[in-house]
Amino acid sequence: MSHSKCCHPCCNHELPLFADLEMADLDPLLFEKKLRQQNIALIAGIDEAGRGPLAGPVVAAAVILPETFDLPGLTDSKKLSAKKREQLFKPIRQQALAVGVGFVHAPQVDEINILQATIRAMCMAVARLKIAPQHLLIDGITPLPLSIAQQTIKKGDSRSLSVAAASVIAKVVRDRMMVVYDRRYPEYGFAGHKGYGSVKHRELIAQHGPCPLHRKSFAGVREYV
């Protein structure tokens, strides 16, 4: 059996890899089931939204689901329409044992870089859970500087239902924020592109210059600072 390093800062031993990723593709609760077999019940899935945009915050969510969680249609938020994400948002909040959301705004992204901003938002999301998790399942390859047992999962939002739930929460919260910001800065069309670098958005930045929501360290914005 292959092995992976434990991400827990207090451990230096190796843990068996819970499952071949191909098996996780077939069963998005496989990681959670393996943990529950070890009497680990409070499992927080963690994901973010907004690493790539030219404007707006990076938002992270942490979600602890009950063992009885059942929500057909839930998967990686990027594979869902905006309408479907909105439909799933409330049931996730209703069924989850705990939900935490963290966000880092554009000035901080410029100050510490997008990777560190993402880590900070994820740590904030975990800290805002009303129930302390026993284990973290994190989308991606970067562990968090927290003294909680954890595992990173490539494409975790497609391979873990807990992470998928977090991806939907993060994406919906961020999209809603960008709609609100659109009313404050209507000349940029944030309600449509949500801050991503569409052709129209880039044209508007060139025309009006960046606003306080823009990430001035990002190509496509810094040229007009």
Q: What is the CATH classification number for the domain harbouring 100?
A: 3.30.420.10
Rounded to whole angstroms, how far apart are CA atoms 215 and 27? 38
The pair of three-digit structure tokens given for residue 25, joined into one six-digit string = 């593709």
pTM for the full model? Answer: 0.90
Rounded to whole angstroms, how far apart are CA atoms 114 and 221? 15
In a domain, 3, yes or no: no
Backbone φ and ψ of 199, nearest 5°: -60, -45
Partner residues linked to 200 by β-bridges:
none
**Are the C-beta atoms of 15 and 4 separated by less than 8 Å?**
yes
Structural domain of 146: 21-174
In a domain, 44, yes or no: yes
In a domain, 63, yes or no: yes
Give the count of domains, the chain.
1
pLDDT (tens digit per residue) in 131-181: 999 999 999 999 999 999 999 999 999 999 999 999 999 999 999 999 999
In a domain, 210, yes or no: no
pLDDT (tens digit per residue) in 8-60: 443 333 344 544 566 766 788 899 999 999 999 999 999 999 999 999 999 99
- Terminal alpha carbon distance of the chain: 53
